[in-house]
Amino acid sequence: QKEVEQNSGPLSVPEGAIASLNCTYSDRGSQSFFWYRQYSGKSPELIMFIYSNGDKEDGRFTAQLNKASQYVSLLIRDSQPSDSATYLCAVSLAGSARQLTFGSGTQLTVLP
């Protein structure tokens, strides 16, 4: 089992729809969860972080965390073509010497 798993996609949604991206993690002791957006050939940029169970909203983005199910998701409302990118889930695994463990990413395409 991978430590951080994401559906690789590609995921396609029409413009204006809600895009839902999912991530599961293996370490129940994980404390911090991050979503990065990465445009093709560019460096990752942080768009959301969440530390507590529940929802966290920032503009069109909502991160949802369920530690009991070891599941974190990212919702993008009113999706725009400029949201087309790869979204990386990253987790700070308890007891790991690694600062963050990244999933393999989900490629999102928003169709005009």
Partner 1 sequence: EAQVTQNPRYLITVTGKKLTVTCSQNMNHEYMSWYRQDPGLGLRQIYYSMNVEVTDKGDVPEGYKVSRKEKRNFPLILESPSPNQTSLYFCASSLSFQSRNTIYFGEGSWLTVV
SS percent in the chain: helix, strand, coil, step 5: 5, 55, 45
Residues 93-112 contacting partner 1, CB under 8 A = 97-100, 102-105
- Interface with partner 1, residue 52, by CB under 8 A: no
Parallel, antiparallel, or unpaired for β 101-102 and 45-50?
unpaired
**What does the per-residue mask of binding to partner 1 show for 59-78, with x meaning CB under 8 A?**
--------------------
Choice from 51, 66, 78, 80 touching partner 1 (CB under 8 A): 51
Residue 68 Ramachandran class (φ > 0 left, ψ -120 to 50 alpha, else beta): alpha
Is residue 34 at the binding interface for partner 1, with CB under 8 A as the rule? yes
